[in-house]
Structure 1
Amino acid sequence: MEQKILLECHKISKDFGITKALKEVDFNVPAGRVCGLVGENGSGKSTLVAVISGIYQATSGAMEYKGAPWKPRDVMDSQRGGISIIVQEAGTIGTLTVAENIFLGQEGQFRKGFMIDYRKMNAEAQKLIDEVGIEGIRSNMRIMQLNLQQRKMIEIVKAYQYHPDILIVDETTNALSHRERQVLFDLIKRLTAEGRAVIIISHDIEEVMEYCDLITVLKDGEMVTTLKKEDATPRHIKELMVGRDVEEGFYRTDMDGYQEKVALKADNITTMQEIMNLSLELHAGEILGIGGLSDCGMHTLGKALFGEEPVLAGSVTAGIEQTKITDAETAVKNRMAYMSKDRDEESIALSAPVFENIASTGYEVNRGFGFLISRAREKKYVDTQVKGLKIRCYSSSQQVSTLSGGNKQKVVFGKWMAKDFDIIIMDCPTRGVDIGVKAEMYNLMYELKRAGKAILLICEELPELIGMSDRILIMKQGAITKEFLRSKDLSEKEIIDYMI
Structure 2
Amino acid sequence: MRSSSHTCMYLLDMSVGANIVLSSIIACNASVKFGYAGLIIAPLICGTIIGLINGIVYIKLHISSLIVTCALSLIYEALSVYTTNGKNVILSTEYRAFGDYPVNLILALIAYFLCAFILKYTKIGIYTYAIGSNEVVAKNMGVNVSKYKIVAFTLAGFFFGLAFKKYGHPVVAIVIGENGSGKSTLTSCLTGIYQKDSGKFILEGKEITATNQVEANHQGVAIIVQEIGTFSGLTVAENIFLGNEDKFTKHGIKNTAAMNKQAQEYLDSYGFNYIDATKVIDDYNFEDRKLVEIVKATYFNPKVLVVDEATTALGQKGREELFKVMHKVRDTGNCVIFISHDIEEVIEQADNISVLRDGVKIGSITKAEATPDKLKALMVGREIGDNYYRTDYGEEISKEIVLSAKNVTVKGQIEDLNLELHKGEILGIGGLSECGMHEVGKALFGASYFRQGTVTLGDGTPINSIPDAIKHSIAYASKDRDNESLVINDTIGNNICLPSLENLKTHGMLRGKSMKEFANKYAKQMSTKMTGVDQFVSALSGGNKQKVVLARWVGKDSDLIILDSPTRGIDVKVKADIYAMMNDMRKSGKSIIMISEEIMELLGMADRILIMKDGKINGEFLRSPELKDTDLIDNMI
Aligned-pair CA distance for 1:36: 0.2
1:124 matched residue in structure 2? 262
1:438 matched residue in structure 2? 575
2:538 to 387, 401, 409: 401
1:152 matched residue in structure 2? 290
Q: Secondary structure at the match of 1:464?
A: helix
The CA distance in 1 between the partners of 2:566 and 2:412, in whole Å, is 23
Asked whether the 8 Å contact 1:273–1:300 carries over to 2, the reply is: no
1:347 to 482, 485, 498: 485
The CA distance in 2 between the partners of 1:4 and 1:53, in whole Å, is 26
Q: Residue 538 of structure 2 aligns to which amino acid in structure 1?
A: S
Asked whether the 8 Å contact 2:384–2:573 carries over to 1, the reply is: no
**For the structure 1 residues 29 and 58, does the alpha-carbon distance in structure 2 shift closer, same or farther, using more than 3 Å as the test?**
farther
How far does the alpha carbon of each residue in 1:364-404 deviate from its partner, in whole angstroms, 9 at most, with x for none?
Answer: 1111223x213333223212212222211111001111112
2:417 matched residue in structure 1? 278
2:438 maps to 1:299: yes
Q: Secondary structure at the match of 2:288?
A: helix
User: What percent of counterpart residues are identical?
Assistant: 44
2:171 maps to 1:33: yes
1:268 matched residue in structure 2? 407
2:361 matched residue in structure 1? 223
Aligned-pair CA distance for 1:257: 3.3
Q: Residue 449 of structure 1 aligns to which amino acid in structure 2?
A: R
The CA distance in 1 between the partners of 2:294 and 2:364, in whole Å, is 26
Which structure would you say has the larger Rg?
Answer: 2
Q: Counterparts of 1:89-488 in structure 2 under 5 Å? A: 89-255=227-393, 256-310=395-449, 312-318=451-457, 320-370=458-508, 372-488=509-625
Q: Secondary structure at the match of 1:62?
A: coil
Aligned-pair CA distance for 1:103: 1.4
The CA distance in 2 between the partners of 1:240 and 1:2, in whole Å, is 34
Asked whether the 8 Å contact 1:87–1:171 carries over to 2, the reply is: yes
Asked whether the 8 Å contact 2:470–2:499 carries over to 1, the reply is: no
1:72 to 173, 187, 210: 210
The CA distance in 2 between the partners of 1:66 and 1:79, in whole Å, is 15
Please say which of residues 399-408 and 62-71 is displaced more in the overlay: 62-71
Please say which of residues 130-139 and 243-252 is displaced more in the overlay: 130-139
Aligned-pair CA distance for 1:294: 0.6
Q: Secondary structure at the match of 1:276?
A: strand
Asked whether the 8 Å contact 1:310–1:326 carries over to 2, the reply is: no
The CA distance in 1 between the partners of 2:494 and 2:513, in whole Å, is 14
**For the structure 1 residues 117 and 5, does the alpha-carbon distance in structure 2 shift closer, same or farther, using more than 3 Å as the test?**
farther
Aligned-pair CA distance for 1:54: 2.1
**For the structure 1 residues 5 and 338, does the alpha-carbon distance in structure 2 shift closer, same or farther, using more than 3 Å as the test?**
farther
**For the structure 1 residues 415 and 301, does the alpha-carbon distance in structure 2 shift closer, same or farther, using more than 3 Å as the test?**
same
Measured on the aligned residues, the alpha-carbon RMSD in Å equals: 2.1
Please say which of residues 245-254 and 87-96 is displaced more in the overlay: 87-96
Asked whether the 8 Å contact 1:5–1:28 carries over to 2, the reply is: no
Asked whether the 8 Å contact 1:32–1:194 carries over to 2, the reply is: no
Q: Counterparts of 1:78-89 in structure 2 under 5 Å? A: 78-89=216-227
Aligned-pair CA distance for 1:161: 2.5
**For the structure 1 residues 428 and 3, does the alpha-carbon distance in structure 2 shift closer, same or farther, using more than 3 Å as the test?**
farther
Q: Which 5+ residue runs of structure 2 have no aligned equivalent?
A: 1-83, 90-107, 109-159
Q: Residue 374 of structure 2 aligns to which amino acid in structure 1?
A: H
The CA distance in 1 between the partners of 2:414 and 2:227, in whole Å, is 29
Please say which of residues 305-314 and 326-335 is displaced more in the overlay: 305-314
Asked whether the 8 Å contact 2:355–2:363 carries over to 1, the reply is: yes
**Greater relative contact order (Cα 8 A, min sep 6): structure 1 or 2?**
1
How far does the alpha carbon of each residue in 1:76-130 deviate from its partner, in whole angstroms, 9 at most, with x for none?
Answer: 2211011111122321111111111111122232224343221111111111212
Q: Residue 580 of structure 2 aligns to which amino acid in structure 1?
A: N
Please give the TM-score of this superposition, normalised by the length of structure 1.
Answer: 0.92
Aligned-pair CA distance for 1:442: 0.4
Q: Residue 407 of structure 2 aligns to which amino acid in structure 1?
A: N
The CA distance in 2 between the partners of 1:270 and 1:444, in whole Å, is 32
Aligned-pair CA distance for 1:273: 2.5
Asked whether the 8 Å contact 2:389–2:605 carries over to 1, the reply is: yes
Please say which of residues 56-65 and 427-436 is displaced more in the overlay: 56-65
How far does the alpha carbon of each residue in 1:191-246 deviate from its partner, in whole angstroms, 9 at most, with x for none?
Answer: 11111111100001111111110001111111111111111111111111111111
Q: Residue 330 of structure 1 aligns to which amino acid in structure 2?
A: D
Asked whether the 8 Å contact 2:477–2:562 carries over to 1, the reply is: yes
More strand by share: 1
**For the structure 1 residues 382 and 176, does the alpha-carbon distance in structure 2 shift closer, same or farther, using more than 3 Å as the test?**
same
Please give the TM-score of this superposition, normalised by the length of structure 2.
Answer: 0.73
How far does the alpha carbon of each residue in 1:282-306 deviate from its partner, in whole angstroms, 9 at most, with x for none?
Answer: 0110000001111111011111111
Asked whether the 8 Å contact 1:270–1:312 carries over to 2, the reply is: yes
2:199 maps to 1:61: yes
The CA distance in 2 between the partners of 1:306 and 1:5, in whole Å, is 55
Please say which of residues 103-112 and 177-186 is displaced more in the overlay: 103-112
More helix by share: 2
